[in-house]
Amino acid sequence: MAKLYIITGPSGVGKSTISRGIAERLNKSVLLEGDNFYHQVVGGYVQAWKPGNHLDVFWKVCVDTINNYLNAGYDVVFNYIINKEKFMELKNIFENIELKFVVLLVDRETILKRDKERPEEFQMKDRCFILLNDFLNNNYDEKYILYTDKLTINQTIDEIIHNKRYLV
């Protein structure tokens, strides 16, 4: 049976790096980067945190795409910035699928350092801290939270793949 890994956290925690690493270790897998779906809209594009955004259609496209790959027997690794309310919706949508959910977190210094390493047009600057505070105040179940500032990339990937604590 195909599995779904949902990886979230604020910008700069390593969602893309860790998600790619997980997908590369699975036998038959697909990596779905939420940002790539969101940025498919060109005309009428609005940033996700601003009024008039296209999150409704974005989520429909993401859920349909995840389902298509799962139904074809692929393990799916999906990453995006996901609030607790959206997590609960996804948990219900994929209730019959083996689902691992992980909230990646790091300290403020690490987020700032990683953001500065990005090309200027992709830097989030102060928004990184806003998102970090949102995740810290979102009251996610502790079992889903993984602090990665003291872990290597490989240790983080191993932890997510092998630890059953992230099962929903």
Which residues touch 128 (CB under 8 Å, ≥6 apart)?
10, 11, 12, 111, 112, 115
Q: Assign 135 a pLDDT band (cuts: 50, 70, 90).
A: confident
Residue 113: pLDDT band with limits 50, 70, 90: confident
Q: Which domain holds residue 84?
A: 3-166
pLDDT at 136: 82
Q: Tell the residue number behind the tokens 């860790």, with chain if given.
A: 18
3-class DSSP state of 153: helix
Give the number of C-alpha atoms closer than 13 A to the C-alpha of residue 146, restricted to the C-beta side. 29
pLDDT exceeds 90 at position 138: no
66 burial level (CB within 10 Å; 0-12, 13-18, 19+): buried
CB 13 within 8 Å of CB 106: yes
More confident residue, 30 or 83: 30
Distance in angstroms (rounded) separating the CA atoms of residues 136 and 96: 29
Counting the structural domains of the chain, the total is 1
How high is the pLDDT of residue 115?
A: 78
Contact 104, 7 (CB under 8 A): yes
Which contacts of 156-164 are long-range, i.e. CB under 8 A and separated by 24 or more positions?
Answer: 156/14, 156/18, 156/21, 156/104, 157/18, 157/21, 157/22, 157/25, 160/5, 160/7, 160/18, 160/22, 160/100, 160/102, 161/22, 161/25, 161/26
CATH code for the domain of 122: 3.40.50.300
Give the pLDDT confidence of 46-73 residue by residue, as tens digits. Answer: 988 889 988 999 999 999 999 999 999 9
- In this predicted structure, the answer to whether residue 157 has a pLDDT above a threshold of 80 is yes
Beta bridge partners, 105, equal 147
Residue 102 near residue 146, CB atoms below 8 Å: yes
